[in-house]
Structure 1
Amino acid sequence: MLSESFALFQQEGFLARSSLLAGLNALRKANVDDTNKGLFYSAFFELSIGFERLMKLVLVIDHMANNDLRPMTDQELKNKYGHKIESLYKSCAELNERLGRSTDNFYKEGCFEWDIIHFLHEFALSARYYNLSKLTNGQRTNDPLSEWWALLTSVIHSDVSQKKLGKIQSESLAYCDNFAGNSFTMMRGLDGQLMTTLDAVMYPKLVEAAAPHMVWKVFKIIRPFYFLISDVVEAAHEVEHSKGIDHPNIPYMYEFFPFLLLDRSDVIRRRKWG
């Protein structure tokens, strides 16, 4: 008969997987128009939750493998990490190195991928409350949409081809030449500024072009955790076998995350997750 801990790990695996897939799906669809702007928030919530839970699973299982299958206490987990995604990530990077795995797929401060990790860290801690805090004069963080727009802009310039950018610009200008005299917009961009008609026409196209590349940037950060969680589960199973435990306390957790094995071309082409 499977243990209670097996069922709890299983449920946590479902939670982490569903959150990550929902986050990637929302990030792929999110855009600056009023219909899809809310999907940015959905992506930030789901990705920060899913990534946090995945990293905590790795660290809890590693602790069990090295402490006679005893998990860390709830207080140990909360006091050391809480929702601190940066701290979780650094601990997992150190664990990855101790296990002798390549460090090439883990990122350090100063690179673009770390900026994404920092963004999710800030969102999980406080930026998710930005709108209400701003309304009640308690705002102590930057607007997450404005922060994300800065990241998106970088990807637009670095990953979208010049040919694609030129086509978007020329088509948008042609549209405005034909219709701008008979229209106006009161839409705001992710930076909170009112958009011109040209902005309102061009920005959604730019975001759509950058979206698959941004998904890949996020995906690259999470991808190595498939192999890391495989290693710690294997170590914990070895302890179980040494103690004569026939029914594992820990599932094969990597089986929850097979999508992390996709390569760049598959991720770039994929429009729906989950």
Structure 2
Amino acid sequence: MKTPKVSQLFLQLQQEAYLSSSLIASGLTELRRAHVGDRGRYYNAFFHLSIGMERLCKLILILNHLATNHLKPPGIAAIKGFSHDLSNLYRTALSAYGIATTHPTEPLVASFIDFLSTFAKSTRYSNLDALASGNSGVDVLAEWNSLIEVVVAAHVRPRKQKKFETIAALAESALAENSFVLAHDLSGRPMGLGDWFRLPALHDEAAKHAVWIMIQALEPLTDAVGRAGAAAESASRANSASQLQIPDMPEFFYFLYPDRQYVLRKKRWP
């Protein structure tokens, strides 16, 4: 069987899909593993997820333009005009296909997207801005902690929270005379021994549900990129292209299974 030839457009779309899917996968992995004792992973997660989602949204917009303009590219200005406004990009990428921008059973989807959008536009520089200005500025981890507290209240069973508190209290009682903790929680408050044993376990439990919320935010985008890719492929066939023009876009995002139990068990993506 003769191997089909692929166009430069095919290769460019393929490379961008690999890039955005890899960023999203690593972002989900870091989000799942992060906790108060390993907070650098939160920053990794925010950078990778915000950039990966931004690029996926822009990829959808490019594919949609290709599909409706006989494979003519939209121009750099049309895409750069969105800058890093992830919330606007998200809505625009989905609106072309009539896809809902919020999940009907999970209101935190919108909050997570807004958080990442703010991070992409401004707060990713907050630490440097605070150091350079001498002002306290915005604390990204404190803002994230506010979201995590809502996740805990909504999704972590009280019995499990009580278990973490009991174990932490026993550890604190056994070690209090000979140990202390020099650390702060995600909101910047000093931690005691009990906090040191309780919060990592609580964050680990909350992380499962935070990742599930992110998967729900990403699911509409995987739907949209599949539709946009199929439409662009139809346009290329209409042009009687001699080479393959459009890759199979959903195959790059195969790991975003919208299955709750699967996601809650998983610790590494893809």
TM range (shorter): over 0.9
Deviation at 1:37, TM superposition (A): 1.1
Cα–Cα, structure 1 residues 220 and 140, in superposed 2: closer, same or farther, change >3 Å? farther
Deviation at 1:262, TM superposition (A): 4.2
> Is the CA contact (8 Å cut-off) linking 2:70 and 2:239 kept in structure 1?
no
Distance 2:199 2:91 in 1: 35
SS of residue paired to 1:173: helix
How many residue pairs end up in the alignment? 265
> Is the CA contact (8 Å cut-off) linking 1:27 and 1:40 kept in structure 2?
yes
Q: Share of identical aligned residues, percent?
A: 34
Cross-structure match for 1:94: 95
Is 2:208 the partner of 1:212?
yes
Question: Please, which moves more after superposition, 225-234 or 127-136?
Answer: 225-234
Distance 2:258 2:112 in 1: 20
Query: What is the TM-score of this pair, normalised by structure 1?
Result: 0.92
> Is the CA contact (8 Å cut-off) linking 2:102 and 2:109 kept in structure 1?
no
Q: What value does the CA root-mean-square deviation take over the aligned residues?
A: 1.8
Distance 1:53 1:10 in 2: 13
Question: Please, which moves more after superposition, 41-50 or 66-75?
Answer: 66-75
Cross-structure match for 1:22: 26
The counterpart of 2:191, out of the listed 186, 195, 203, is 195
Deviation at 1:261, TM superposition (A): 2.8
Cross-structure match for 1:255: 251
> Is the CA contact (8 Å cut-off) linking 1:230 and 1:254 kept in structure 2?
yes
Cross-structure match for 2:79: 77
Runs of 4+ in 1 over 4 A off after TM superposition: 138-141
Superposed CA deviations along residues 225-262 of structure 1, whole A, max 9, x for unmatched, are 22211111111111111111132322111110111234
The counterpart of 1:159, out of the listed 151, 155, 162, is 155
Superposed CA deviations along residues 136-160 of structure 1, whole A, max 9, x for unmatched, are 1187962111111111111111101
Distance 1:140 1:241 in 2: 57
Cα–Cα, structure 1 residues 141 and 94, in superposed 2: closer, same or farther, change >3 Å? farther
Superposed CA deviations along residues 55-75 of structure 1, whole A, max 9, x for unmatched, are 111111001111111121111
SS of residue paired to 1:121: helix
Distance 2:238 2:93 in 1: 26
Is 2:3 the partner of 1:2?
no
> Is the CA contact (8 Å cut-off) linking 1:130 and 1:139 kept in structure 2?
no
SS of residue paired to 1:210: helix
Distance 1:225 1:187 in 2: 39
SS of residue paired to 2:172: helix
Distance 1:217 1:235 in 2: 28
Unaligned runs of 5+ in 2: none
Cross-structure match for 1:232: 228
Question: Please, which moves more after superposition, 84-93 or 23-32?
Answer: 84-93
Query: What is the TM-score of this pair, normalised by structure 2?
Result: 0.93
Distance 1:237 1:196 in 2: 58
SS of residue paired to 2:36: coil
Distance 2:208 2:50 in 1: 19
SS of residue paired to 1:86: helix
